[in-house]
Chain A
Amino acid sequence: MAEQRFQLRGPLTAATIRATRDALAPALAHARTAGPAVVDLAQVAAVDDIGLAQIMAALLDARAEGKTLRVENVPQDVLRRLSLLDPKDVMAAPQAGPRAGALESLGDGFFARTRDGAEFLGIVVELVIRLVMRPKGLRLKAIVEQVMIIGVGAIPILSLIGFLIGVIIAFQAAYQLRDLGANLYVANMVGLSMARELSPFVTGILVAGRSGSAIAAEIATMKINLELDALRTMAIDPTSSVLLPRVIATIIAVPILVALANVLGILGGLVIAVGPLSLSAGSYWDQILIAMRPNDILIGMLKAVTFGIVIATIACHKGSQVSGGSREVAAATTAAVVSSIFWMIVCDAIVTMVFFFVG
């Protein structure tokens, strides 16, 4: 079959992208449907890298489909520029990377969580062993500093959230109880749901978002900036001096914050009880004392301690696994928050179920 020759004219540059494409289109179409095509550059005025890339792309496209598209009379200045490049680097056929299907990604997510869980348990064990060995790098000052950041720093926002949740539960309870004339039982609802579930859970999510992310980001940045390596060369163990204070501080801070949320939640319920529900403060308080047993508080505190361990160890782990650049710091921070919320819910479910059956 005879070759069809396509004469390109004028400049083929960044300013003439459309014109170049339109000029190449018939040649490519001919190569695809009719037979061999030759693109002749003898008449072109100027070719820059953009024009050249368009020509090469047409040539590679045709060849990828097993068709013939040849380029002839390439201007000398273009060849001179090309001679600085290795053809292997430029003319490699495009390769499609493996792409995970939606179902595969779901599976990956599931396995990632399971792997996280195994790693998490490993770290907890390691930290406990370290703690038992009384590491010399661990300083009270560092723990106190972290308690201030993680615990005291969260008090204003947590108080507000706790109060509002108390208000919400009181309204939700009254919505159903007022028809039964049982408004007084709003106190039961507020007290029990705050102490057993909502205070620990909301505090956990707040601390994960506020401090878990901060811990992961800080440790990841320290890792990337070689600060952790620098500590090691100064014979200061990063686990004892950086990770442990944060873990211990979180375990101290979360239960205290949960207690605070309990108090503010009950206060929020009180405001609704004496306001819209027309109960007396005394009867609300008496009912709280009747409804709440020490066990309810203890279960909440058990959850609080568990959540503290979960948040801090996951944040430390995700942060110290980073290697590379700023993109990975972001990924570690996200992973720390998502993973710790997931594992808090798992632990929450386990504790709740165990105590449902045990007492």
Chain B
Amino acid sequence: MVAKGGQTVIDVKDVGVSFGDRRVLDGITLQVTRGEAVAILGPSGCGKSTLLRLMIGLLPITQGTISILGEQIGSLSGLDLEKLLLRFGVLFQSSALIGSLTVGENVALPLTEHTALSDSAIDVVVRMKLAQVGLAHAKDLRPAQLSGGMAKRAGLARALALSPELLFFDEPSAGLDPLTALSLDHLIVDLRDRLGVTIVAVTHELASVRVFADRVIMLRDGKVAAHGTLDEVAKSDDPWVGNFLNRTAPREETNHQEWARLLAANDVAGKDGGALGNA
């Protein structure tokens, strides 16, 4: 899980989370180096969204430590936490644009709240950020008027407002048509290559991962199942990893005769009380 060379911007050590009896994350350790784009990959329910929420400070860390840009995110509060939050951006799966504000006002929000910029300067920054994601024309639209792809771009423009060093994406291409998803993937690549932004994207879309990810970290049942470049991971000994990457799955079938036997069984006398459910 250790990336080669470079400065470590995310350092997750032995992180675990339980919701009630359910162990969602178990001993997660991973690192992300400045300037790389990392995909955290895994099936629905593998814990990757929980891991993301821990890294961006939306869930309290109960076990292990997470260091973001050199700061322990779980132990910060007040102004220290605010300073750290301003150094990274988050694009939510639903974009999470504030519905009562226009697209432009959404992008301006972090600027008006956290900088001493004049209104006209903020307006220029908003135009720049919207142009960066190809949404210059949408400044005065309401979030409800945007298509899925446009909403993602607007959310990205807002995440970029304070020129963050690090960007988190939650399922960037989920719910988008293949071409829109591809254009967003290219945007991610541009951000990494031209602005030097470190990218961490939680996703289950293999097509996107192939476009933007330098490295993948695969999660399964709350544990790291494999890590490395996509090619390295594809050579994993774990058959599940291969199945996931090749979109193959063994089908579990109950034998025909098993069902015939169940339906014809004289189960009343059976030891299991006649409940077929125990078969």
Which residues of A line the B interface, CB within 8 A? 36, 56, 59-60, 63, 66-68, 70-72, 74, 76, 79-80, 82-88, 91-93, 137, 218, 221-222, 225-227, 229-236, 241
Inter-chain CA distance A67–B254, complex, in Å, is 26
Whether A70 and B94, one on each chain, are in contact in the complex, defined by CB atoms closer than 8 angstroms, is no
Shortest distance between the CB of A248 and any CB in chain B (Å): 17
Whether B96 and A226, one on each chain, are in contact in the complex, defined by CB atoms closer than 8 angstroms, is yes
Inter-chain CA distance A56–B263, complex, in Å, is 8
Inter-chain CA distance A36–B265, complex, in Å, is 12
On chain A, the residues within 8 Å of B92 by CB distance are: 226, 229-230
On chain B, the residues within 8 Å of A91 by CB distance are: 262, 275-277, 279
The one of B89, B90, B259 in contact with A79, judged by C-beta atoms closer than 8 angstroms, is: B259
Whether A76 and B256, one on each chain, are in contact in the complex, defined by CB atoms closer than 8 angstroms, is yes
On chain A, the residues within 8 Å of B263 by CB distance are: 56, 59, 70-72, 74
Inter-chain CA distance A227–B58, complex, in Å, is 12
The one of B114, B253, B256, B267 in contact with A235, judged by C-beta atoms closer than 8 angstroms, is: B114
Inter-chain CA distance A137–B93, complex, in Å, is 25
Inter-chain CA distance A79–B258, complex, in Å, is 9
Whether B58 and A235, one on each chain, are in contact in the complex, defined by CB atoms closer than 8 angstroms, is no
Whether B98 and A63, one on each chain, are in contact in the complex, defined by CB atoms closer than 8 angstroms, is no
On chain A, the residues within 8 Å of B147 by CB distance are: none
Q: Is B118 an interface residue (CB 8 A)?
A: no
On chain B, the residues within 8 Å of A231 by CB distance are: 98
Q: A82-B254, A234-B85 are in contact. Are A227 and B99 (CB under 8 A)?
A: yes
Whether A84 and B279, one on each chain, are in contact in the complex, defined by CB atoms closer than 8 angstroms, is no
Whether A226 and B113, one on each chain, are in contact in the complex, defined by CB atoms closer than 8 angstroms, is no
14 new A-B contacts at CB < 8 Å, known A226-B93, A235-B110: A68-B266, A68-B268, A70-B265, A72-B264, A87-B262, A87-B277, A91-B262, A225-B94, A227-B97, A227-B99, A229-B96, A230-B98, A234-B110, A235-B114
Whether B85 and A92, one on each chain, are in contact in the complex, defined by CB atoms closer than 8 angstroms, is no
5 pairs from A and B in contact (CB 8 Å cutoff): A71-B263, A227-B97, A230-B92, A233-B58, A235-B82
Shortest distance between the CB of B252 and any CB in chain A (Å): 8
Inter-chain CA distance A229–B170, complex, in Å, is 13
Shortest distance between the CB of B224 and any CB in chain A (Å): 24
Whether A232 and B58, one on each chain, are in contact in the complex, defined by CB atoms closer than 8 angstroms, is yes
Whether B81 and A230, one on each chain, are in contact in the complex, defined by CB atoms closer than 8 angstroms, is no
> Which residues of B from 74 to 113 have beta carbons under 8 Å from A?
81-82, 85-86, 89-90, 92-94, 96-100, 109-110, 113
Q: Is B116 an interface residue (CB 8 A)?
A: no
Whether B113 and A235, one on each chain, are in contact in the complex, defined by CB atoms closer than 8 angstroms, is yes
The one of A36, A79, A87, A225 in contact with B276, judged by C-beta atoms closer than 8 angstroms, is: A87
Whether A226 and B94, one on each chain, are in contact in the complex, defined by CB atoms closer than 8 angstroms, is yes
**Which of B96, B110, B265 counts the most A-chain CB atoms under 10 A from its CB?**
B96
Chain B, residue nearest A229 (CB): B58
Shortest distance between the CB of B165 and any CB in chain A (Å): 15
Shortest distance between the CB of A313 and any CB in chain B (Å): 21
Whether A222 and B113, one on each chain, are in contact in the complex, defined by CB atoms closer than 8 angstroms, is no
Whether A87 and B279, one on each chain, are in contact in the complex, defined by CB atoms closer than 8 angstroms, is yes
Chain A, residue nearest B257 (CB): A79
On chain B, the residues within 8 Å of A233 by CB distance are: 56-58, 85, 89-90
On chain B, the residues within 8 Å of A74 by CB distance are: 259-260, 263-264
Q: Is B255 an interface residue (CB 8 A)?
A: yes
**Which of A56, A83, A86, A235 counts the most B-chain CB atoms under 10 A from its CB?**
A235
Inter-chain CA distance A80–B56, complex, in Å, is 49
The one of A70, A80, A85 in contact with B264, judged by C-beta atoms closer than 8 angstroms, is: A70
Inter-chain CA distance A88–B263, complex, in Å, is 13
Chain A, residue nearest B79 (CB): A235
Whether A70 and B266, one on each chain, are in contact in the complex, defined by CB atoms closer than 8 angstroms, is yes
Q: Is B43 an interface residue (CB 8 A)?
A: no
Whether A236 and B97, one on each chain, are in contact in the complex, defined by CB atoms closer than 8 angstroms, is no
Whether A88 and B279, one on each chain, are in contact in the complex, defined by CB atoms closer than 8 angstroms, is yes
Q: Is B274 an interface residue (CB 8 A)?
A: yes
Inter-chain CA distance A70–B96, complex, in Å, is 55
Inter-chain CA distance A346–B74, complex, in Å, is 42
Shortest distance between the CB of B76 and any CB in chain A (Å): 11
**Which of B86, B90, B92, B263 counts the most A-chain CB atoms under 10 A from its CB?**
B263
Shortest distance between the CB of B274 and any CB in chain A (Å): 5
On chain A, the residues within 8 Å of B99 by CB distance are: 221-222, 225, 227
On chain B, the residues within 8 Å of A229 by CB distance are: 58, 92, 96
Give the top 9 A-B pairs by smallest Cβ distance, nearest first. A230-B96, A91-B276, A235-B85, A71-B263, A226-B96, A79-B256, A235-B82, A92-B277, A82-B259
The one of A59, A80, A230 in contact with B256, judged by C-beta atoms closer than 8 angstroms, is: A80
Inter-chain CA distance A83–B263, complex, in Å, is 12
Shortest distance between the CB of A174 and any CB in chain B (Å): 48
Inter-chain CA distance A305–B92, complex, in Å, is 39
The one of A68, A92, A226, A234 in contact with B109, judged by C-beta atoms closer than 8 angstroms, is: A234
Inter-chain CA distance A305–B252, complex, in Å, is 65
On chain A, the residues within 8 Å of B56 by CB distance are: 233
On chain A, the residues within 8 Å of B254 by CB distance are: 82-87
The one of B58, B96, B257, B277 in contact with A225, judged by C-beta atoms closer than 8 angstroms, is: B96
Shortest distance between the CB of A339 and any CB in chain B (Å): 24
Inter-chain CA distance A272–B267, complex, in Å, is 83
Shortest distance between the CB of A251 and any CB in chain B (Å): 21
Whether A63 and B276, one on each chain, are in contact in the complex, defined by CB atoms closer than 8 angstroms, is yes
Chain B, residue nearest A221 (CB): B99
On chain A, the residues within 8 Å of B252 by CB distance are: 86
Whether B98 and A227, one on each chain, are in contact in the complex, defined by CB atoms closer than 8 angstroms, is yes
Inter-chain CA distance A91–B268, complex, in Å, is 14
**Which of A85, A218, A233 counts the most B-chain CB atoms under 10 A from its CB?**
A233
Chain A, residue nearest B93 (CB): A226
Q: A70-B265, A233-B56 are in contact. Are A227 and B277 (CB under 8 A)?
A: no
On chain B, the residues within 8 Å of A80 by CB distance are: 256
Whether B90 and A230, one on each chain, are in contact in the complex, defined by CB atoms closer than 8 angstroms, is yes
